[in-house]
Structures are given as C-alpha cells and as structure tokens.
Amino acid sequence: MTDLTIQMAQTQTIETTKESKIQELENKIKALETEIEELKYNPLSYDGTVYRDKKDHPYCPTCYDTHGQKVHLHKPISGRNCYYCQACNAKYFEK
C-alpha cells in the first residue's frame, strides 16, 4: 500500500511537471505568433547599417538583434550624418 502511495505521488509530480512544461511551450508559441503578426504589419529590412520599416524610419540593429526591441533611432541636432540610439547609446553613420 505504501508503494502504491509513493507511485501515485510520483505520477502526480510528473503530471504537474508535464503540464507546466506544456504551458511554458504554449506561451512561447503565442509570443512567436505575436511577433510574426507584428512583422507582417511592420516588417524591418536591413540596409547594411540600420533596420528600416516601410516608411523608411531607422531602427537600432543592436537593440533589435539582441533584445528583439524596435528602438527608433534619432539624428543629432548638430546635423552630422549619423543616427543614435537612446536605449543603448550606439551610433550609426549613414552610408
């Protein structure tokens, strides 16, 4: 009887672990589906220096490649031919 109780407890533990793993994978799938939908509506293309959207707005390649974040780049007031990222402080010079 004790062996049966131990086996039931082990089975419940395995079942709980499987359910949590399934939930984790379902959450990853939902996140990837959301990312796919976002890319359909606002795809970015790489021009050799920065990522650009359909409206030709520049995005930081460092933030996008490392964190998957679309961070819009800004031009400095001084008028130099470069963009800078407020999130990671990277600078990108226009070709």
Same domain membership, residue 49 and residue 80: yes
Same domain membership, residue 50 and residue 65: yes
pLDDT of residue 25: 95
What is the tens place of the pLDDT at every residue in 24-74? 999 999 988 887 776 665 566 666 678 887 777 888 888 888 888 888 888
Structural domains of the chain, count: 2
pLDDT-based confidence at residue 22 (cuts at 50, 70, 90): very high
pLDDT of residue 26: 95
Same domain membership, residue 23 and residue 1: yes
What tokens were used for 93?
A: 């010079």
Same domain membership, residue 32 and residue 5: yes
Same domain membership, residue 50 and residue 26: no
Same domain membership, residue 57 and residue 27: no
Half-sphere exposure of 2 (CA within 13 A, CB side): 0
The whole domain housing 31 covers: 1-41
Same domain membership, residue 93 and residue 68: yes
**Do 83 and 75 touch, CB atoms closer than 8 A?**
yes
Q: pTM of the entire structure?
A: 0.49
pLDDT of residue 27: 94
pLDDT of residue 78: 67
